[in-house]
Amino acid sequence: MSNPVEAQQGNANLCRHLVEAANTIPDHLAAAVQHSAGRSIDGLSYEEMDFQTLNRKSDHIAAALIHFGLTPGMKAVLMVTPSIDFFCLTFGLFKAGIVPILVDPGMGVKNLKQCFIEAKPDVFIGIPKAHIARRLFGWGKRSVKHLITVGGGRLINTVTGAYSLDDIVNNSRVDPQPFAMQLLNEDAMAAILFTSGSTGTPKGVVYSHKMFEAQISALKLDYGIKPGERDLATFPLFSLFGPALGMASIVPDMDASKPITANPDFIFAAIEKYQCSNMFINPALIERLGDAGSPVNHKIPSIKRVISAGAPATIGSIKRFSTMLNSDVEVLNSYGATEALPLSKIGSQSLFNTTDVTDHGGGICVGDAIEGVVIAIIDIDENPISQWHEALKLPANQIGEIVVKGSMVSRSYYQRDTATRAAKMTDGVATRHRMGDLGYLDDAGLLWMCGRKAHRVDAITAAGSMQRYYSIPTERIFNTHPEVKRSALVGVVVAGRLTPLVCIELDTTIACSKTNVLYQQLCTLAEQHSQTQGIIRFLIHPNFPVDIRHNAKIFREKLAIWAQKQIKE
């Protein structure tokens, strides 16, 4: 992937869409950010900005940063909470050709430090709390040359050694004319987005301008988003797509890294005030809002479209949430990953029709490929595959690793050559990405998810043959038991053999059977399905470890360690 400073000039820059919106709908709302004083809706206030102002201020910031000494091609860690400043600053960085590095604060201190070591940022831009953490934990101390703080006042700047963004802008004395944004080759590096680390060590995904353009096109064409809409944006990166689509981004007062802690009243208030037509939310928030709104018959009639991504949402949570929507509005479940998003989608009504297959171990249907995306299934293989050829493809209804091709597919990880070789292959023209997910394509071409490749259990039976168990098909069968809240397949070693074991988290809202009775019922259930035959070991765990963002991705690796300690051979 080319560095922007070295790349040939072209015509690509995400901000060209913002400029177009500023010229065509200048006075329309571009962004609004909700703030609260206390925990009641009485204390809510809102910052607002229109497209023309957002474009002008981001121009000013881009010019000021260049005047300050930043140069196109530099990499800047951005640790700023969702705010009007966040919008202006991020678009300013893109206009200046400075590469934002976006990390999830929820990934933990150790992972954050490793991200900084790998990304080697030239600039650290953050709120005061981020700068204090930077000094405390030594983030980026070997590479960072410029420190910029957003908010906090002069005392904070003195303590952290950073320059205030406000001072940089106010003292820049730059030309008030529109900033001549960097127009680059479509394959030039535009940003580095780190994966959350919920299924392994975080990796920096190199985003090109071509990828951003493909995502914008998908949201326009496949999801039907139109200029003038208003989006309830609960994920910082997606909130940036709003202004690029001519759509206002309404950011509620919540911790985006911990959506399960959001105050539903604040979110409902933002939707009502701005009559939002679109929502981009993850499964944790679907569950949170549905649990709050459904029992009191709350309605959100302005919503015309709900996009869910990040992890599979449960059928029950989607149904509860849907009671608040108009009857013709669906929850659109999207499949993808940081490396490639979106790839496929399925509406909730179609999804409801697949529940019987899912409950009987058929995996989770994630729908049709969106326009321009090619999905294939290959044999499960831990080795790198450098060249794609059609002979790798498995026939319909055969489970293997999901491989994708499309303009939104990333070409590499940043400074992770081994990971790039393991996940990428080329067909001579385009990059294909190995998702690390297992699944199959049915006869109609629909994609079904069967879990992570790393979460399968290849067990050796007493007869010496190998039996393979997949996480999603296995777990969904056991989840049909009325006393099971959720389950997790892990592998444990018993008498020198890798053996499947299912951890169970009980539904504490109901009275449960005695443990030995429950285990016997689960054994009987296992024998009724080919996907689970041979599973005879179960353990009850009080509270599964899950990722804080989605509250759905189970840390099976932690459960496997715990389960192994419980085994008495």
Domain ranges in the chain? 1-10+25-208, 366-454, 456-566
Q: What is the CATH number of domain 366-454?
A: 2.30.38.10
pTM, to two decimals: 0.94
For range 18-44, the mean pLDDT? 92
For residues 381 and 391, what is the distance between their CA atoms, to the nearest angstrom? 15
pLDDT digits 0-9 by tens, 378-408: 999 999 999 999 999 999 999 999 999 999 9
pLDDT digits 0-9 by tens, 531-553: 999 999 999 999 999 876 666 68
The pLDDT confidence band at residue 448, using thresholds 50, 70 and 90, is very high
pLDDT value for 40 = 82
The pLDDT confidence band at residue 313, using thresholds 50, 70 and 90, is confident
For residues 173 and 53, what is the distance between their CA atoms, to the nearest angstrom? 18
CA angle 524, 529, 532 (to 5 degrees): 80
For range 430-450, the mean pLDDT? 97
C-alpha distances (whole Å) from 87 to each of 31, 80, 130, 190, 237 are 8, 10, 18, 16, 10
Instruction: Considering only residues 567 and 95, tell me which one the structure prediction assigns the higher pLDDT.
Output: 95
Percent with pLDDT over 70 in the chain: 95
The pLDDT confidence band at residue 6, using thresholds 50, 70 and 90, is very low
pLDDT value for 522 = 97
Q: Of 3.40.50.970, 3.40.50.300, 3.40.50.980, 3.40.640.10, which CATH number belongs to 1-10+25-208?
A: 3.40.50.980
What does residue 169 show for φ and ψ, rounded to 5 degrees?
A: -70, -45
What does residue 488 show for φ and ψ, rounded to 5 degrees?
A: -145, 125
Percent with pLDDT over 90 in the chain: 77
For residues 255 and 235, what is the distance between their CA atoms, to the nearest angstrom? 10
pLDDT value for 69 = 95
- Domain 456-566 top-level CATH class: alpha beta
Q: Give the neighbor-by-neighbor strand order of the sheet with 99-102.
A: 163-164, 146-149, 123-126, 75-79, 99-102, 189-194, 204-208
